[in-house]
């Protein structure tokens, strides 16, 4: 296995950020209704273009205009039983990158069935928290994970990043993609190289959609970069912008507004200079 | 009947606020798509945890993780005909507290049928405006109310708080719960004790979800306090935060952001010290 | 044909703004879930009242309380196949003004069918971008337009305002209403008089719902003014408020909050004094 070098990773992040600003890439979504507005606003602020749909034929149609796609499982509608698998199949057939946020995994039969179905057409990037990746690995029958062991309770995580690492690596290897686990320290792995990002403000967890919108911005970046670089660039951007927004605000309302401003203002070299540690996967 | 003493009420409010901050209680919702993000953000800012679902089996599943639940009738989907009654039945069977916001009562057949069905599994707290509680009392056949007499027009109120008091008391007595009627002066009653809260900024009425999010925060508080204390504590928190947010802003956009900040920053003793008057119900 | 005089137009805009503030007119919507909250907040900030529904009988019921109605095609649900045409037919039968935003025209079969069906019950105002009006004229078989020629890609425009002018005029004449095309210079035409509005901040395009909410505010104004004056007054208000909000912010998050503040604070005479040029249609 070849481990990526830190300087090459940083150069690729800066290049991805420059291309997003120059090309305004379109990353459509089927996403939840709670944070849909914040996802779109974050995608626009970060330099991309957004479009959200719900129906099966609309999801399939949008895969064509898409540089990459975002599927977020936060709120299910009855027609998602068809819309989400159909869109994933089309993305798989077209070879287009897509980001999955398996939020709420374990709640309801349809969500479980749909998330299980993605095993056949796996996402390019999974963006989630620690409990969710353990649950997803379990749902897909990868021996590192466990639907039972993980303590998914609603949408919050009750497992540590380090406990989630084996599941993150196994899902990344199975899907030949990247897994990004958000936490106090964020973890991004493609199954060969693991990067830990210690920065970011915990205030982002007081804003609904902090994680969902990160998945949307990863999809914007996945239009112009490899999944690994896209996930890491978006994570770095979020860590930078959240710290800056927290420094000038004293509560979650003005923080959220300021956070969008900082997504908009962050420079490619600043994004690429965020602290992270690179190591080879065991 | 025993009237609660003001000093005991204030102590209970402060204790509830301390527990919310310490325990981050989970109050899931089935709520409308207009204000769903603001509801979640208010619940997080106030110290709770939020999760929103739509489907029948997901509503039922979330009742188990819930300390309390929030059902808001603002926007109806076809599958709500099953989802809302099924979730209410489960909450009733589990004996878990839940908050109902009957917003839009009178619009459409399904909304009327579903709100009528709650008579059999009544909510622990009803959070509404004056016209809505008169309409709900009428819909449930309580002789103080009237679907005809109330002038529900869309989502705005056209009746006074004092005109709504008999309906509020009768619904509270029927449901053995609490009714909170929002207005220039807010009214909270459990059918024995009525509290009038004169504070708050009217600017909150220029933000969509001012009332909806109050119901969500009442559900957070209902995880750790009696329905009466939960409704009064959340109302007091809203009055405090809205006045503070209005003092530093000159329009509804920055007010909304600042309001979330103030929900986050309010101290238990400050919430408990908000002005209100206690009297025995006639 | 009689061309309206600039001074009469400006007097009518000021009068409309005064009436909106005095009467708080109710303009219900069936609108997309991405920007629904921003639409409602903009309608409230501008001085109106908002109510959003999804179901067929609720759409029809709300037409009665409505001064004017807003239908936005941004996100489709399966039940829109019935809800949108039924609401449009009721509005047509009642002779009530309504605003259509045909956002996403060309995506999916149901959206195409529903937008085509509006040919029989045409909207009073169409609010859209350049590509969308060319596509709508094509869909309705008006010879100025073309579904093929227009380059609708997701929700963004790839045609110029001037290229869209013939389609805007033909749709306005066909519907005997007004068409408002948003762009760097906005265009408002009733098929006899065309007004070009050169102002506004491009930062509004970095906020999801900038265009959608303009349609909602046009519906508020259409409760108290002619379609032409309503479309022009709302456009002028948006240009004024967006420039003011951009002057005091440096990113899209605080801009969006400040923009709502400026919608709220704008005075009738300021709205009426925004720059625009009036000319007779060819």
Q: What angle do CA B75, A51, C185 make, to 5 degrees?
A: 105
Question: C129 phi and psi, to 5 degrees?
Answer: -105, 180
Domain of A95, in residue numbers: 6-275
At residue B150, the pLDDT reads 47
**Pairing outcome for strands A69-72 and A98-101:** parallel
CATH number of the domain bearing residue A255: 3.40.1190.20
In terms of Cα–Cα distance, which of A164, C254, C162 is closest to B253? Answer: C254
At residue C158, the pLDDT reads 74
**For residue B191, what is the enclosing H or E element?**
none
Chain centroid to Cα C24, Å, comes to 18
Q: Are B219 and B68 in contact (CB under 8 A)?
A: yes
**A19: closest CA of chain B, how far (Å):** 31
Residue B1: inside a domain: no
* Dist. CA B221–CA B218, nearest whole Å: 5
Query: Which chain B residues touch C257 with a CB distance below 8 Å?
Result: 253-254, 256-257
As a whole number, the mean pLDDT across chain A is 94
Mean pLDDT of the B152-161 span: 69
Mean pLDDT of the B261-275 span: 98
* Dist. CA A31–CA A16, nearest whole Å: 24
The residue among C34, C129, C153, C205 with the most chain A CBs within 10 A of its CB, best to mutate, is: C34
Q: Of B205-209, C121-125, C143-147, where does mean pLDDT reach its minimum?
A: C143-147
Mean pLDDT of the C196-221 span: 97
Contact at CB, C36 and B38, closer than 8 angstroms:
no
* Dist. CA A140–CA A142, nearest whole Å: 6
Beta sheet of C98-101, edge-to-edge order: C29-30, C69-72, C98-101, C125-129, C178-182, C186-189, C193-197, C277-280
Residue A95: inside a domain: yes
**C251: closest CA of chain A, how far (Å):** 4
* Dist. CA A169–CA A159, nearest whole Å: 16
**For residue C188, what is the enclosing H or E element?**
strand C186-189
Residue C248: inside a domain: yes
Residues 6+ away with beta carbon under 8 Å from A199: A236, A239, A240, A243, A274, A275
Cα four-point dihedral sign C223, C227, C231, C236: negative
Rg of chain B over CA atoms, in angstroms? 17
Q: Are A232 and B245 in contact (CB under 8 A)?
A: no
Q: Of chain C residues 60-99, which have a CB less than 8 A from chain A?
A: 74-78
Work out the pLDDT band at A143, boundaries 50, 70, 90: confident
The residue among B49, B74, B257, B258 with the most chain A CBs within 10 A of its CB, best to mutate, is: B257
The beta-carbon neighbor of A33 closest among B33, B57, B79 is B33
Strands (E), C64-176: 69-72, 98-101, 125-129
Q: Of chain A residues 193-232, which have a CB less than 8 A from chain B?
A: 206-209
Residue A282: inside a domain: no
Work out the pLDDT band at B143, boundaries 50, 70, 90: confident
3-state SS, one letter per residue, for B170-207: HHHHHHCCEEEEECCCEEEECCCEEEEECCCCHHHHHC
Residue C194: inside a domain: yes
* Dist. CA A239–CA A106, nearest whole Å: 28
**Pairing outcome for strands C193-197 and C277-280:** antiparallel
Cβ-based neighbour number of residue C5 at 10 Å: 11
What is A254-268 written as a DSSP string?
A: HHHHHHHHHHHH--H
How is residue B276 written in tokens?
A: 């209100």
- Residue C51 near chain B (CB below 8 Å): yes
At residue C159, the pLDDT reads 85
In terms of Cα–Cα distance, which of A203, A165, A207, A208 is closest to A186? Answer: A165
* Dist. CA C35–CA A39, nearest whole Å: 11
B90-133 pLDDT per residue, tens? 999 999 999 999 999 999 999 999 999 999 999 999 999 999 99
At residue C154, the pLDDT reads 57
Tokens 């509801």 found at? B39
Greatest pairwise CA separation for chain C in angstroms: 47
Among chain A residues, CA nearest to C80: A55
* Dist. CA A168–CA A191, nearest whole Å: 8
**For residue B220, what is the enclosing H or E element?**
helix B210-222
At residue A95, the pLDDT reads 97
The beta-carbon neighbor of B107 closest among C58, C257, C260 is C58
Name the burial class of residue A64, with classes exposed (0-12), middle (13-18) and buried (19+) by CB atoms within 10 angstroms of its CB.
exposed
Q: Are C252 and C71 in contact (CB under 8 A)?
A: no
Work out the pLDDT band at A172, boundaries 50, 70, 90: very high
pLDDT at residue B174 greater than cutoff 60: yes
Q: Are B43 and B20 in contact (CB under 8 A)?
A: no
- Residue C177 near chain A (CB below 8 Å): no
User: Structural domain tally of chain B?
Assistant: 1
Query: Which chain C residues touch B76 with a CB distance below 8 Å?
Result: 53-55, 58
Residue A174: inside a domain: yes
Residue C103: inside a domain: yes
B73-91 pLDDT per residue, tens? 999 999 999 999 999 999 9
């Amino acid at each position: 296995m070849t481990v990526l070098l830190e300087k090459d990773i940083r150069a690729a992040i800066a290049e991805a950020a420059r291309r997003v600003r120059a090309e305004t890439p379109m990353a459509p979504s089927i996403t939840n209704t709670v944070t849909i507005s914040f996802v779109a606003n974050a995608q626009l602020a970060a330099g991309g273009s957004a479009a959200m749909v719900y129906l099966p034929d609309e999801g399939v149609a949008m895969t064509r205009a898409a540089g990459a796609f975002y599927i977020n499982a936060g709120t299910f509608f009855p027609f998602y039983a068809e819309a989400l698998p159909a869109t994933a199949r089309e993305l798989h057939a077209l070879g287009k990158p897509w980001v999955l946020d398996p939020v709420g995994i374990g709640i309801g039969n349809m969500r479980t069935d749909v998330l299980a179905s993605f095993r056949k057409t796996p996402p390019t990037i999974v963006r989630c928290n620690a409990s969710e990746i353990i649950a997803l690995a379990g749902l897909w029958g990868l021996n590192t994970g466990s639907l039972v062991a993980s303590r998914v309770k609603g949408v919050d995580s009750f497992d540590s990043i380090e406990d989630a690492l084996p599941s993150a690596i196994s899902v990344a290897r199975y899907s030949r993609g990247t897994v990004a686990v958000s936490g106090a320290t964020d973890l991004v792995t493609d199954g060969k190289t693991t990067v830990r990002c210690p920065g970011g403000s915990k205030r982002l967890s007081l804003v609904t959609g902090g994680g969902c919108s990160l998945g949307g911005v990863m999809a914007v970046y996945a239009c112009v970069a490899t999944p690994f670089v896209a996930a890491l660039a978006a994570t770095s951007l979020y860590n930078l912008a959240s710290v800056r927004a927290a420094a000038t605000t004293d509560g979650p309302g003005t923080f959220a507004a300021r956070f969008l401003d900082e997504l908009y203002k962050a420079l490619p070299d600043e994004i690429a200079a965020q602290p992270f540690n690179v190591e080879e996967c065991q």
